[in-house]
Chain A
């Protein structure tokens, strides 16, 4: 079955810096890769997603890249702000979503 590895588990950056979170997946048939943000005490919320026929997608300060050959995808957050502090999860779908274990991002001002 699908296995998703996510790194790093914790990430601390200064406000204004960039943050990058990386995930790898095992099943080459996976075709949908969402990223979720979870704030304390709340359910995960989708922030961006990418499908296997696209290599990169951007939404304001957030971008996701996908390398199907290497079976890895990454989340890039530029100009980080304190409100970006949260736990971020990647996932791969084939067909059910398999989640990574999460990255706790801390942005200090």
Chain B
């Protein structure tokens, strides 16, 4: 039982390049989330998927797209990377979201540097 896994661990991009961050969970959770973490800013929600087939914007969605590929996998795409997207990205999952919110389990993070 690996929990939440993320790939890659590190990535360096040039401005304008695109990339997809991958996330998978093996806990049979319904809800999945993408956060970014910047120094002094805590964790900010980018997008989330309450259940397979649904996605919703979080606090900071601009410049990102997501795909809930199936129940296990939730990817985050940067179409045209900008230096402001330099951050550490965390994926998380929970049994469900909304009323009666459950514990979120976090992956190890992807460190992204955009030059």
A contact residues vs B (CB 8 Å cutoff): 6, 9, 31-32, 34, 36, 41-46, 49, 89, 93, 95-102
Contact = CB atoms under 8 A, between A and B. Distances in A.
Given A31-B101, A95-B97, A96-B97, A43 B42 contact: no
Interface of B: 4, 33, 40-45, 48, 58-59, 90, 92, 97-101, 103-109
A43 B104 CA distance: 11
Contacts, number: 54
Contact of B106 (A44, A96, A102): A44
Interface centre among A32, A41, A99 (most CB of B within 10 A): A99
Nearest to A93: B101
Contacts of B42: 6, 89, 99-102
Contacts of A98: 45, 59
A44 B43 contact: yes
Contacts of B45: 96-98
Contacts of A6: 42
B48 A43 contact: no
Contact of B40 (A41, A45, A46, A101): A101
Contacts of A96: 33, 45, 48, 58, 97
B103 A46 contact: yes
